[in-house]
Chain A
Amino acid sequence: MFAVRLRVFVEWHRHEERVVEIVPPDHPDARQVFLAMQIDPVASSIDDDEDAILPVTRFDDDTMAEDAARRSKEILEYQLTDISGLGEAVFAAVAELCDNALDHGRNALGAYVAIRRVTAPRRQVSVAISDLGQGIPEHIRQRYPEWSDDGYAIAHALEPHVTGTGNPHRGIGFSDVFEAALTKSLHAARMDIHSANGFCRVQVVQEQRKIEVFPAARFRRGAWIAYDLVAAE
């Protein structure tokens, strides 16, 4: 998520026609991640870092979202065999969350997705998706204006059939993401959702889902989702 936040920060200020100068980190490991994840969109990048499953990628139409979901599944299942069992779960997460970002988070900057493998202390895949749209609480309050607390509005948005669209067949995306994660390849999953003044954390362990709402440290425009899937040993 840190890579996505930096990239959005850079592109937002450039979009506002401000000059942003980026100095890459000196430390070789940090520099490798910086270049592999394409945090600076105009800097040269490297593609020999196999942990960078998908560098920070801007998308503003469904074709690009579809491509991100397909690429992440293919890389996980055919190249990273130690975590290939998480391929379908990552596909479902990228497909549904990118769909949401496009649908509810429309913004001139589009939306962003990044996926990275982490190998220590445990093998896991980290997915980050963000947009600078209206945010989840405001979207949900189009149908449920009584949910005034942002954190609880996000928590309710995770329930099946809760959607701000008014379409009774919508609002299944989040629950499908968590269902897709329930494979024997998964040890645990955690999703952190920041939007407006709300912060909601979902933990999935042994088929149990725990949802917690915390006070947000600060207001965040749009929706910022970090989803970590830890592989079973």
Chain B
Amino acid sequence: MPYSYALAQHGTTLATRPFAERLRKEVVWEADGQKLVELDFSGVLSASHSFADEFVAQMAEESQEGEIGFRVAVTNVSPNVEARITKALDLRAVRLFELA
């Protein structure tokens, strides 16, 4: 059973790099020892590029480089938010774990 982190607990819109950094550190701390972390975006309507980069792409990069011990996947992401996440991942040339 993967560890799931619900972003909607922080609101329907997610913005700013410092906020994303705080959440990323929270997830990394809470998911210590897990194999897979699902970032659940259900209920999130918008996310800024800075948030997507600092939260998702940075975490995916740390996972890919072995700095953190779990793989990262996103679930229930709206097309709008997905576009920002995809762009942030592309710019860092990293990928998320794809759930079956």
Contact = CB atoms under 8 A, between A and B. Distances in A.
Contacts of B12: 70
Given A70-B13, A169-B57, A172-B91, A62 B18 contact: yes
B15 A95 contact: yes
Interface string B63-85: 00000000000000000100010
A21 to B, nearest CB: 36
Interface in B41-90: 45-46, 48-51, 53, 57-58, 80, 84, 87
B67 to A, nearest CB: 15
Contacts of A65: 15-16
Contacts of A102: 16, 18
B19 A63 contact: yes
Interface residues of B, number: 23
A224 interface: no
Chain B interface, DSSP helix/strand/loop, else mixed:
helix
Interface string A5-46: 000000000000000000000000000000000000000000
Interface of A: 61-63, 65-66, 69-70, 73, 88, 91-92, 94-96, 98-99, 102-103, 169, 172-173, 176
Nearest to B92: A169
B17 interface: yes
B48 A176 contact: yes
A213 to B, nearest CB: 25
Contacts of B92: 169
Most buried by B among A94, A103, A169, A173: A169
B88 to A, nearest CB: 8
A91 B46 contact: yes
